[in-house]
Amino acid sequence: MNLVTIQNTLANASFVILFGTMLVYWVGLAFPNFMATAALGTAGMAIANLSIATLLGARWLEAGYFPLSNLYESLFFLTWGITAIHLIAEHTSRSRLVGVATAPVAMGITAFATLTLPAEMQIAEPLVPALKSNWLMMHVSVMMLSYAALMVGALLAIAFLIVTWGQSIQLQGSSLGIGGYRNNGYKLHKAEEPLMQSATTALENNGLGTFENSNGRNGIAVLDLVKTEPVSRAEMLSPQRLNLAETLDNISYRIIGLGFPLLTIGIIAGAVWANEAWGSYWSWDPKETWALITWLVFAAYLHARITRGWQGRKPAILAASGFVVVWICYLGVNLLGKGLHSYGWFL
């Protein structure tokens, strides 16, 4: 069996595995008590990740260069990155809803690369002179990993919006900047249901409340605001949903926080490579322009979270819009645009 046959077999196997994994996660969503789906889903994503890694390794041996020179290779590398980030996010959050969001995207990318791309675009070809550089691995691999992380983070933000749909959110606490992330203490309630008021008197007295003892005299006691604060009806009815919303928001924030520096490094590396290849650090090529737009969208998200203290649905909507922007930057410009990064399939 030659390397080309191995690649085709692994490509088809990856699609089948991811399709089955997607169904497993969806069954787990429909039947939450069926706990075996969590382990099966994680195993499926891990096997798909190893299959794609083996495919890329075989491609590397066949072509003699890092497999990121055309759309077919970059699609599989992107899928590998998404499955890797998925495993990290799922292990951290311990929620199978991560797979409900990421498995269909990973499967769709694999299906597009395997079943939709023309055969001539799937063949490894010799590198053009401009790509014969060590910057190929440095720039493109980092950019693709940043796309994978930002996509997963955006997908989790979309999942957060779905989980909190029709609910108003009252937050306590805020994101911490460099120091990490602090528990938000989410409170959800139905949109038409007024918020329960906290212990106002205690707050006005710096956490001190008055009581009347057995002798009829007034005394002072320190109130435990967490225990004495009224709990809304929605909060009592769906504690798991509240915990899930907080987890999704937390992991989404962390994964985007991982993808953004990778995107920054990738753009800088691309500028250096462009100067070596074309004599200019920046030429406002469509790909460069959309990479900058992507950077600005997620920079605005992180700025809103860290500096402005935004939490809940507002930053999640901004992150969700970033999912579309990443796809335009990665695929839309390459296929539909004209420029130095265009694959020229449709035009």
Higher pLDDT pick, 114 / 234:
114
**Rounded distance between C-alpha atoms, residue 292 and residue 296, angstroms:** 6
* Cα→Cα distances 260→155, 167, 212, 267, 272, Å: 15, 29, 56, 11, 19
Cα–Cα distance for residue pair 172/192, rounded to 1 Å: 21
* One domain for residues 54 and 122: yes
Which residues, 6+ apart, have CB-to-CB distance to 2 below 8 Å?
none
- Same structural domain, 97 and 245: no
The model's confidence at residue 142, banded by pLDDT at 50, 70 and 90, is very high
Q: In angstroms, rounded to a whole number, what is the distance separating the alpha carbons of residues 339 and 341?
A: 5
Q: How far apart are CA 69 and CA 333, in angstroms?
A: 16
Q: Is residue 35 part of a domain?
A: yes
Same domain, 218 and 263: no
In a domain, 144, yes or no: no
Amino acid at 296: L
Token readout for 64 is 């003699």
The answer to whether residues 5 and 115 belong to one domain is: yes
Domain that holds residue 257: 160-186+238-347
DSSP state letters, 302-339: HHHHHTS---THHHHHHHHHHHHHHHIIIIIHHHH--S
- Give residue-wise pLDDT tens across range 93-130: 878 888 999 999 999 999 999 988 888 888 887 777 76
User: Average model confidence (pLDDT) for the chain?
Assistant: 78
Considering the domain architecture, whether residues 220 and 249 belong to the same structural domain is answered as no
pLDDT at residue 11 greater than cutoff 60: yes
Strands (E), the chain: 167-170, 187-190, 208-212, 218-222
- Asked, for residue 136, whether it belongs to a domain, the answer is no
Percent of the chain with pLDDT over 70: 74
Residue 123 CB contacts under 8 Å (≥ 6 apart), including other chains: none
CA atoms within 13 A on the CB side of 294: 33
Residues 180 and 249 occupy one common structural domain: yes
Overall residue count recorded for the chain in this entry: 347
Same domain, 3 and 84: yes
Q: Given a cut of 60, is residue 199 above it in pLDDT?
A: no
pLDDT digits (tens, 9 = 90+) for 31-70: 877 777 788 999 999 999 999 999 999 999 888 888 888 8
Contact 105, 79 (CB under 8 A): no
Query: What global pTM score does this model have?
Result: 0.79
175 and 201, same domain (yes or no): no
Domain-located, residue 150: no
Has residue 254 got a pLDDT over 90?
A: yes
pLDDT of residue 289: 87
Domain count, the chain: 3
Do 338 and 286 touch, CB atoms closer than 8 A? Answer: yes
130 is written with which tokens? 């401009």
